Amino acid sequence: MPDLGRYATEVLTAYGVSIVALAALVWLSVRQARRVRRRLEDVEARRRAPG
Protein backbone atom coordinates (compact mmCIF):
# COMPACT_ATOMS: atom_id res chain seq x y z
CA MET A 1 0.00 0.00 0.00
CA PRO A 2 1.57 3.30 -1.03
CA ASP A 3 1.64 6.19 1.41
CA LEU A 4 -1.13 8.50 0.23
CA GLY A 5 -0.32 11.30 2.66
CA ARG A 6 -3.01 13.71 3.73
CA TYR A 7 -5.17 13.13 0.66
CA ALA A 8 -5.67 9.42 1.40
CA THR A 9 -9.44 9.76 1.92
CA GLU A 10 -9.98 11.59 -1.34
CA VAL A 11 -7.91 9.21 -3.44
CA LEU A 12 -9.37 6.08 -1.87
CA THR A 13 -12.94 7.39 -2.22
CA ALA A 14 -12.36 8.20 -5.88
CA TYR A 15 -10.99 4.72 -6.60
CA GLY A 16 -13.56 2.96 -4.45
CA VAL A 17 -16.61 4.68 -5.90
CA SER A 18 -15.38 4.40 -9.49
CA ILE A 19 -14.62 0.72 -9.21
CA VAL A 20 -17.96 0.04 -7.54
CA ALA A 21 -19.73 1.97 -10.31
CA LEU A 22 -17.97 0.00 -13.06
CA ALA A 23 -18.61 -3.28 -11.24
CA ALA A 24 -22.29 -2.39 -10.85
CA LEU A 25 -22.54 -1.59 -14.55
CA VAL A 26 -20.97 -4.91 -15.50
CA TRP A 27 -23.11 -6.81 -12.99
CA LEU A 28 -26.34 -5.22 -14.23
CA SER A 29 -25.40 -5.90 -17.84
CA VAL A 30 -24.67 -9.54 -17.07
CA ARG A 31 -27.85 -9.98 -15.06
CA GLN A 32 -30.00 -8.47 -17.78
CA ALA A 33 -28.22 -10.52 -20.45
CA ARG A 34 -28.81 -13.76 -18.54
CA ARG A 35 -32.47 -12.98 -17.97
CA VAL A 36 -33.15 -12.12 -21.62
CA ARG A 37 -31.18 -15.10 -22.83
CA ARG A 38 -33.08 -17.53 -20.61
CA ARG A 39 -36.45 -16.18 -21.69
CA LEU A 40 -35.45 -16.27 -25.35
CA GLU A 41 -34.30 -19.88 -25.04
CA ASP A 42 -37.66 -20.81 -23.52
CA VAL A 43 -39.53 -19.24 -26.41
CA GLU A 44 -37.25 -20.76 -29.06
CA ALA A 45 -37.75 -24.18 -27.48
CA ARG A 46 -41.50 -23.62 -27.53
CA ARG A 47 -41.33 -22.77 -31.25
CA ARG A 48 -39.39 -25.88 -32.14
CA ALA A 49 -41.70 -28.13 -30.14
CA PRO A 50 -44.54 -29.44 -32.35
CA GLY A 51 -48.00 -28.00 -31.77
Partner 1 sequence: MSSLWEYANPRKFMATSGALLPWVSGLAVLCLVGGLFWGFFLTPDDFRQGSTVKIIYLHVPAAIMAINVWLMMLVASLIWLIRRHHVSALAAKAAAPVGAVFTAIALFTGAVWGQPMWGTWWEWDPRLTSFLILFLFYLGYIAMWEAVENPDAAADLTTVLCLVGSVFAVISRYALLFWNQGLHQGASLSMDAEQNVADVFWYPLVTCIAGFFLLFLALVLYRTRTEIRARRLRALLAQERTA
List of residues contacting partner 1 (CB under 8 A): 1-8, 10-11, 13-15, 17-18, 21-22, 24-26, 28-30, 32-33, 36-37, 39-40, 43-44, 46-47
Q: How far is the CB of 48 from partner 1 (least distance, A)?
A: 11
Instruction: List Cα–Cα distances, 20 to 32, 38, 50, in angstroms.
Output: 18, 27, 47
What's the closest the beta carbon of residue 6 comes to partner 1, in angstroms? 7
Q: Is the dihedral of CA 25, 27, 29, 35 positive or negative?
A: negative
> Whole-number minimum distance, CB 50 to partner 1, in Å?
14
Q: 29, 36 in Cβ contact below 8 A?
A: no
